[in-house]
Amino acid sequence: MKNGRESSAASARKTHGMLARARSLAVALAPLVVTPLVFLAVLRSGPVPAPLARRALPQEAYDAGHCTWYCHNHGCPHRPVLPALLSGDDGLFGWTVDALHAGGDAVSPHARGIGYGIVNLAVFCAAWPAGMLALWIVAIGQRRRIRALREERP
């Protein structure tokens, strides 16, 4: 009878371990599911839902009340809300755009817009999210280690 209790206890520990690993995996991968869902919700929430794929940049008229695609396509004439260090052409925004153009020129020297688009997608749709996911996983691992250390205390 003792062997039956031991095997059921071992089975329970194994099941608990598998559930803990599944829960950890679900928490680690949550950003990969939640982020696209939020993105799609925002994309589809406007008065005229935006298409999921575009063949060209939208052409919209300037609106003094808020930014439109006009600002994206021609530069934004609105008064900045953020400090110039972040939003100005000589600040972080301008440096980022210049770096993306330089990367685009290296990737596709004869088609500047194509190279800029490729580098923009690579940075903001692949490298940046991958880095954030890696930091998320590191933070989860650190949290688990801290919990384990707290449980070891007398």
Separation in Å, CA 26 to CA 15, 33, 45, 66, 151: 16, 10, 27, 39, 23
- Asked if residue 76 has pLDDT above 80, the reply is yes
**Domain definitions of the chain by residue range:** 1-49, 57-84, 89-154
- Asked if residue 8 has pLDDT above 60, the reply is yes
Average pLDDT score over residue span 134-143: 91
Average pLDDT score over residue span 123-140: 91
Give 1's pLDDT tier (boundaries 50, 70, 90). very low
Give 127's pLDDT tier (boundaries 50, 70, 90). very high
CA-wise closest residue to 135 among 20, 24, 63, 28: 28
> Cβ neighbours of residue 136 under 8 Å, at least 6 residues apart?
28, 31
- Asked if residue 13 has pLDDT above 60, the reply is yes
Question: In this predicted model, what pLDDT tens digit does every residue of 52-70 receive, in sequence order?
Answer: 777 787 888 999 998 888 9
Where do runs of H (alpha helix) occur along the chain? 2-43, 69-74, 84-87, 92-107, 112-121, 128-152
Separation in Å, CA 19 to CA 15, 24, 31: 6, 8, 20
Average pLDDT score over residue span 4-13: 69
pLDDT at 2: 53
| pTM of the predicted model as reported, rounded to 2 decimal places | 0.62
Q: Which amino acid is at 90?
A: D
The per-residue pLDDT of the chain, averaged, comes to: 85
Average pLDDT score over residue span 25-37: 84
pLDDT at 4: 56
